[in-house]
Amino acid sequence: MRHYAYFLAACLTLISLVCSCAMDDKADEATPRLRVSQKTLSVVKTGKLKDGTAATFQVAANKGYRITSDAEWLSVDKPEGIGLVDVAVACQENNSGAERSASLYVTAEGGLKDTVLVSQNLFDPNEELKHRTFYSEDFSWTEPIAAANGLKDPVGDPDNGYTRMEVTKPAVADAWAACGLTDWYKTVINPNGANKINIQNGYLCFNSNATFNTGVILPAFTGISDDETADATLTFQAVPNIGSKGADNVPLVVEIVSGSGSLSETSDLQSVTVDITNETTWATQTLSLYGIDSTTRIAIHTAAPAGQKYCRWYLDNILVKE
């Protein structure tokens, strides 16, 4: 009986070793896969996001990955790994005096590769804390709606689709009203016109595929008393839609549509045109505002020529600060 037990134990051990080897062989023969969650990232002067946290992205690589950078100021905390890994971006402070960008190259077995473009602007959250904020909108309120409805991020991940939702839909309407922005086209041009403002995952989409322009009007500024005027800086990020035939022609206009103020320190300049047509990712626009008060209303809208069919664009991170 004892000999039989020894024989049975030996057989089980042999079977276990054979199965283990077979599984290892299958694992070794698995097709290498690589996926990167974000194709573009934007950080501020300090090298972090505006809220002070590190910019991150995920890498999924069943055979392992390696990340290299083409700039000394840019690196990551996990340059190598395997499986599903959260990677934090490390950027040195930008003291160059200009916006800059660099690439992170992600490679994996089998010749697989991907790229994450990291841009760094000159916005300094520490400096900004010293001044009053008259208006701020980062559209973070769109993110839970996007998650619940499968909305996409066509700027950060264009390969994953363009699903969006109009701001007039019941799932969006209350949050849209709370942010204070109004539809420039329906307010200034045609009150009975069609809505072309949508939300994506984290920002606005203006899906104008007809021959009219689109935009928003900012709400009245807070923090300015009725008996004072102030100078301020308006910043926002914008990028054109990039389709199969390239980027849409998107001439943007920043305009004072009512109330006091000027876009020039020396003259009564009421509008400025900014062309974002050649941008391929989020581009920060910065304009100076002079003599604004509690009645000032600012519009950001397109001014495409008559007859142009497509003028689609995206808007994010609007800030008016003293």
- Predicted pLDDT at 7: 44
Confidence class for position 225, pLDDT limits 50, 70, 90: confident
**pLDDT digit string, tens, across residues 4-52:** 444 444 444 444 434 444 444 444 558 999 999 999 999 999 999 988 9
Ramachandran class of 180: left when φ > 0, alpha when ψ lies in -120 to 50, beta otherwise: left
Please give the Cα distance from 285 to 274 (Å, whole number): 8
- Predicted pLDDT at 193: 87
Structure tokens at 166: 């109009």
Residue 113 has pLDDT above 80, yes or no: yes
- Predicted pLDDT at 227: 85
pTM summary value: 0.62
- Predicted pLDDT at 128: 64
Architecture of the domain defined by 133-321: Sandwich (2.60)
- Predicted pLDDT at 4: 44
3-state secondary structure of 187: helix
Residue 152 has pLDDT above 60, yes or no: yes
Where is average pLDDT lowest: 5-9, 128-132, 198-202, 277-281?
Answer: 5-9
Shared fold status for 34-123 and 133-321 = no
Q: For residue 159, give the DSSP letter.
A: G
Residue 309 CB burial class (10 angstroms; 0-12, 13-18, ≥19): exposed
Residue 74 has pLDDT above 80, yes or no: yes
- Predicted pLDDT at 14: 40
Please give the Cα distance from 128 to 132 (Å, whole number): 8
- Predicted pLDDT at 123: 87
What stretch of H or E contains 315? strand 313-321
What stretch of H or E contains 230? strand 230-240
Sign for the CA dihedral angle at 46, 314, 272, 256 comes to: negative
**pLDDT digit string, tens, across residues 133-149:** 999 999 999 999 999 99
Q: Where are the domains of the chain?
A: 34-123, 133-321
User: Which CATH number is 34-123 given?
Assistant: 2.60.40.10
